[in-house]
Amino acid sequence: MRRHLKALLHSFLAPPLALVGALLVLVGLLAGAALSVTALGPWLIAATLRGASGLASVQRALAQSLLGVKVEVPAAQAAAPGPFGWRRAVLADQRSWRAVGWVCLAPVLALPGLVVAFNGYVYGALFLLHPLLRHVNYTTVLAPDGSEQHVSLSWFGTQMDTWPRWLAVVAAGALMIAVAPRLVRLALLPYEKVLRALLGPGAADRRIRTLEETRAQAVEDAAATLRRIERDLHDGTQARLVGLGMHLTMIRELVAAGASSEQVLAVVETAQGNAKQAVADLRNLVKGIHPPVLDQGLDVALATLAADSPMRVEVRVGVGERPSPAIEAIAYFCVAELLANAAKHSGADAVDVEVVGGGGVLSVVVRDDGRGGAIVGAGSGLRGLLGRVGAVDGTLECDSPAGGPTVVRVVLPYR
């Protein structure tokens, strides 16, 4: 109900605001064009463009507060220092000209909402209250004999002046009020779509913002990977190699002191164990950077992941031409992270992994039978995957209703 009331309020507020704004902008542009032969003309046009941007911001805020339409504000264009730099930036700013287009179109786009709201609610209320207002709402007509007659509501030549006919009028009024909220929202759909198209960021702006976000995410991932490698080398491999050196020193001292073979062999076995563990740590470290099993193909690498998983994992890979190594690595790490999430958080017993290549894209779908409720950005690891996938212009979609199942779809370019 509150949402319907807000939409109704917007239907009555937006048209007069849009009409006044369109008149002001048109007058400003026409005056600026007429004075363009003078030095004042460009300044007046620039001021009008800036005013149109302000009006568009007000209408954007009104639509967001009353209709729930969230329109992302485009990035501002940098201006050179000084008043002439400001004027040049305003006149060359596509956002300002798109705001002018919106301000001029807004009255036409807002009018259907006002018409539908007025007819739906006002006439609906009058019809609903017709039995009470029938003596007030009448029309005076001349009878054939020249006398005046008061005619009540008439539909298709039939006067609704008796109580059985009142029921039809009341029913029509109730129906109009019932469907009015839906009709108002439908009438405002063109308004909302054009608002997003003209006042939101353009395709180039969205592309630049996406690249900035993915670049920042890639830099953060690279820094985190370097910190992890440094930590693993310092706390694991380096400590074991230091221990190996100490044990070799002990072996030399024991041999020089003529110790028994049992003592020497005990230290040799300990040193051998440290060496084996250091090699295993290095292999795990390399596997975290680039799994060597990927050299044999994505199908073999995913089969190895499935074999190491504590759950029942079924893998189906239908890839003809192999994608680039970077794409294969991203697909591998996505599946590895999703399997780890399923084992850790979802309580799933079985996971289905399907990888299909074709049409220049690689599609990875991971489906588990767990409890669901996975949300991107809620600490489930999906946010990191989203940044990794976005770095190559890929997409990640997660469908995880409460109670499951969870289905994550990753689409990556082949190159």
Query: Angle at which helices 2-34 and 40-67 pack, to 10 degrees?
Result: 170
pLDDT-based confidence at 30, cuts 50/70/90?
Answer: very high
pLDDT in tens, 233-249: 666 777 777 777 787 88
pLDDT in tens, 181-222: 888 888 888 988 888 888 877 666 666 676 666 666 666 666
- CA separation (Å) from 12 to 15, 100, 187, 198? 7, 22, 13, 22
The CATH number that domain 296-413 falls under is 3.30.565.10
Q: Please tell me the predicted confidence (pLDDT) of residue 24.
A: 92
Contacts of 121 (CB under 8 A, 6+ apart): 8, 176, 177, 180
Q: What percent of the chain has pLDDT over 90?
A: 5
Long-range contacts of 398-402 (CB under 8 A, 24+ apart): 398/374, 400/372, 400/373, 400/374, 400/375, 401/372, 401/373, 402/371, 402/372, 402/373
Q: Please tell me the predicted confidence (pLDDT) of residue 20.
A: 92
Domain residue limits, the chain: 1-201, 221-289, 296-413
Stronger pLDDT, 361 or 24, i.e. the higher one: 24
Distance of alpha carbon 152 from alpha carbon 171, whole angstroms = 17
pLDDT in tens, 116-154: 888 888 777 777 776 665 554 444 444 455 544 444 554
| Cβ neighbours, 10 Å, residue 348 | 22
Q: Please tell me the predicted confidence (pLDDT) of residue 156.
A: 45
Tell me if the pTM is above 0.85: no
At 286, the amino acid letter reads: V
- Mean pLDDT over 144-169 rounds to 53
* Residue 49 reports pLDDT greater than 50: yes
5: tokens are 């009331």
Q: Coil, strand, or helix at residue 406?
A: strand
